[in-house]
Amino acid sequence: MAQLSYRDAVARGIAQEMRRDERVVVVGEDIAGAGGVFKTTVGLLDEFGPKRVIDTPISEQAILGAAMGAAMTGLRPVAEIMFSDFFAVCWDIVVNQIAKTRYMTAGQVTMPLVIKTGNGGGLRFGAQHSQSIENWAMAIPGLKVVTPSTAEDVVGLMAAAIRDDDPVIFCEHKGLYAAKGEVPDGEIIDTLGTAKVRRPGRDATILALGMMVPRALAAAEDLATRGIDAEVIDVRSLVPLDTRTILDSVARTGRLFTVEENPQLLGWGAEIASLVADEAFWDLDGPVQRITTPHIPLPSADSLEDLVMPSAESVARTVEKALQS
Amino acid sequence: MRLPLAEHRYGEHGVVLPPERSDSNDALDVDLDMRRQLYRSMREMRTFEKRAYDLFMKQLVKGTSHLSLGMEAIAAGFGAAMQEDDYTFATYRGHAHTLARGVPMTPVLAELLGRANGLMGGKGGSMHLTSVEHGMMGSYAIIGAHLTIANGAAWSAQYRGSGQVAVCFFGDGTTNIGAFHEALNYAAVYRLPVVFVCENNLYMEYTSIRDITAVAHPAADRAAAYGLESIVVDGNDADAVHLAALEALDRARSGRGPSLVEALTYRHGGHSRADPGKYRPTGEVDAWKAYDPLTIYRERLGRLGVSEAELDAMDATALALVDAATEGAIAGELPSPESAFTDVWADGGWSWRN
Ligand SMILES: Cc1ncc(C[n+]2csc(CCOP(=O)(O)OP(=O)(O)O)c2C)c(N)n1
Ligand SMILES: [Mg+2]
């Protein structure tokens, strides 16, 4: 067991797979010599050398195009898109090329690549450097989408993503990079498409992702002092989605809340609410409630950003009010 | 010559030194009043950026900030050459370009601090400074985008026959994204009144531009591909920049089409925030700090007969302006919570439900 930061866990997960499989290569802006602008690839250049750990120009289309071509022909690239907001400049390669080629070629090619990215808000970076883009990605058939919330999960899910034969969008929450957690020694391999119950509870189910997980847990602790026993589920993987864990929980608690950092429209929670309406309607004791950022771009000022993003307080308040009415 | 990937040596890209100091540019055709203005403008930018850094270190500037310390001659030289209704398009490294258009310091600093009296009420932040009334059409934080947008402003000016020119500033690293190439070809095809200014400070974020670019001059060496003249200016010499700016602006205004100007410069500090810039060789940093646009310009003005006392007075005025702006910014209220929910739509609202 070692205490590891979330950011160091990223490098550890990649290194674990690079040691095992020489087809794994890493590309991106400032990721080699500088170890990444978020320091998530520190040490990789030293250990694996410049043939496998490659600094690129600011050329996102070229980076992902090259990652795709390499994945089609025997490599297993991990490409970094520094801030997830920059997916917007290489969306063609992601959506029209990477996601669809396996299908269009009737399975002649596989696309074993990981696109890792710094995602999410809370750092006062303003509207072009703070977005949570999981929803964009999960709308595209062919992509898998994961967002770990702990250092241990980062290592294991990164390993699983690299070993997967499909393209995986690996969202690292920028607001969690400094967070530390216990990580077991030795090889860790997790499973895509599995959620984790972080806190069991009887009265309500709270689903959260990324940086919203610690906030949901803090809300649950707060609610416990007022007699509400909330279950917190870390969704971890949006595609594939662990519907079993979610539906089982709703069957037990009868109430569902989602905590989403994204703007409201078409957030992942809406998809889960629809699923629950279809498949677990009679388990519900009250309406499903989504706690999201309002449907606005994120403001830069700290006071405004804190106001609009879901917080432990706003989650606790919403759950308490809903359960009392 | 680039090494094959496997042999590539990171950090061993060689030191890039500034030009030799000389007094030959004293003779450039810039009159003394303009030179005083250029000095004043650079000093204001320098003092402002230093204060922004101090306030960042005191955690009053939240999030991030990208400073133009060491790069002031480009903003000042172009700013003084532009007409009042010309358009500026800048990057996240846009404080100096904003000041260059005459935007007062207090709202700029207050924006960095996330205050209600900020240029955009705290909603945009340091990377998105915008003041349409000053022709400052925005600071853009996604690499490459604003070159294409500047084309649109130039197209609009051409369409309206207004005689306005759009000037677009960006970095060396930006020349490797597709949008740079698309924008240049587009501007050339339609002979748009736009001036593209590459502030080549030798680095993208933490990577030397030489390590990841096929040519030595990231902008100028690509100009020929779009039928444009290859132009490299000393970006630390305010006079050289100013003359290049006048020429490019005149060309655009008179319907002779776009220009691409590569201005060689260096940032004194890191890329952003508290980055110490350790990836840069010391010999290089020291040489460029010695070739400081303010130092060389101050010496030039001295040789041309401007007294030390007058220069000191200009420095003091700049400091007083920055002090006043600091006071005004720190005294600013936090933005009202309601302000987070306005301006998504043209009617000022945000709600998608009715
Ligand atoms: C599309 C996109 N990719 C990457 C980034 C991250 N990024 C911000 S600044 C920067 C370096 C830009 O270098 P340069 O163009 O030389 O400008 P400078 O910062 O040196 O002024 C990078 C890679 C971004 N903002 N947008
Ligand atoms: Mg640069």
DSSP B267-279: -SS-SSTT---TT
Within a domain: residue B24?
Answer: no
Q: Are residues A65 and A176 in the same domain?
A: yes
What are the pLDDT digits (tens) for B273-332?
A: 889 999 999 899 999 999 999 999 999 999 999 999 999 999 999 999 999 999 999 999
Within a domain: residue A188?
Answer: no
Q: Are residues A170 and A276 in the same domain?
A: no
Integer Cα distance of A259 and A210 in angstroms? 10
pTM of the shown model: 0.96
The verdict on a CB contact (< 8 Å) between A33 and B6 is no
Integer Cα distance of B109 and B51 in angstroms? 9
For CA atoms B54, B57, B62, B64, the dihedral sign is positive
Distance A113 CA to ligand 1 centre (A): 24
Pocket test for ligand 1, best of A38, A58, A90, A115 (most atoms within 8 A of CB): A58
Q: Are residues A146 and A59 in the same domain?
A: yes
Within a domain: residue A76?
Answer: yes
CATH code, domain carrying A27: 3.40.50.970
Q: Are B209 and B218 in contact (CB under 8 A)?
A: yes
Contact of A178 with chain B, judged by CB distance below 8 Å, is answered with no
Residues spanned by the domain of B250: 32-325
For CA atoms B336, B340, B341, B347, the dihedral sign is positive
Within a domain: residue A255?
Answer: yes
Contact of A80 with chain B, judged by CB distance below 8 Å, is answered with no
Within a domain: residue A191?
Answer: no
pLDDT of residue B1: 42
Tens-level pLDDT at each residue, chain B (354 residues)? 455 555 666 656 679 999 999 999 999 999 999 999 999 999 999 999 999 999 999 999 999 999 999 999 999 999 999 999 999 999 999 999 999 999 999 999 999 999 999 999 999 999 999 999 999 999 999 999 999 999 999 999 999 999 999 999 999 999 999 999 999 999 999 999 999 999 999 999 999 999 999 999 999 999 999 999 999 999 999 999 999 999 999 999 999 999 999 999 999 999 998 899 999 998 999 999 999 999 999 999 999 999 999 999 999 999 999 999 999 999 999 999 999 999 999 999 999 998
Integer Cα distance of B264 and A201 in angstroms? 62
10 Å CB burial of residue B343 (0-12, 13-18, 19+) is: middle
CATH code, domain carrying B154: 3.40.50.970
pLDDT of residue A213: 98
Within a domain: residue A135?
Answer: yes
Count up the domains in chain B and report the number: 1
Within a domain: residue A189?
Answer: no
Within a domain: residue A73?
Answer: yes
Q: Are residues A204 and A147 in the same domain?
A: no
b vs e for A288-319, b when ≥16 Cβ sit within 10 Å of the residue's Cβ?
bbbbbbebbbbbbbbbbbebbbbbbebbbebb
Q: Are residues A109 and A27 in the same domain?
A: yes
Within a domain: residue B269?
Answer: yes
Task: Look up tokens 């906030």; give the residue.
Answer: A215
Is a pLDDT exceeding 80 seen at residue A240? yes
Integer Cα distance of A216 and A313 in angstroms? 9
Tokens of B201: 């400070």
* A275 C-beta neighbours (distance < 10 Å), count: 16
Q: Are residues A162 and A261 in the same domain?
A: no
Q: Are residues A118 and A213 in the same domain?
A: no
What are the pLDDT digits (tens) for A11-64?
A: 999 999 999 999 999 999 999 999 999 999 999 999 999 999 999 999 999 999
Count up the domains in chain A and report the number: 2
Locate the ligand 1 atom nearest the alpha carbon of residue B272 and give its number: 19
Within a domain: residue B349?
Answer: no
Integer Cα distance of B152 and A176 in angstroms? 39
Residues spanned by the domain of A80: 2-183
Distance from the Cα of residue B149 to its chain's centroid: 17
Which residues are CB-neighbours of A308 under 8 A, at least 6 positions away?
A293, A294, A296, A298, A299, B340
Task: Report the chain B residue with the minimal C-alpha distance to residue A129.
Answer: B141
Q: Are residues A176 and A229 in the same domain?
A: no
Q: Are residues A164 and A264 in the same domain?
A: no
Ligand 1 — pocket residues by CB below 6 A?
A: A 29, 58, 60, 82, 86, 89; B 93, 141-143, 170-174, 199, 201, 203-205, 271
Q: Are residues A231 and A140 in the same domain?
A: no
What are the pLDDT digits (tens) for A191-209?
A: 999 999 999 999 999 999 9
Integer Cα distance of A170 and B175 in angstroms? 28
Q: Are residues A121 and A226 in the same domain?
A: no
Within a domain: residue A239?
Answer: yes
Element (H, E) at B95: helix B95-100
Q: Are residues A178 and A201 in the same domain?
A: no
Predicted confidence band of residue A1 (pLDDT cuts 50, 70, 90): confident
pLDDT of residue A68: 98
Distance A115 CA to ligand 1 centre (A): 19
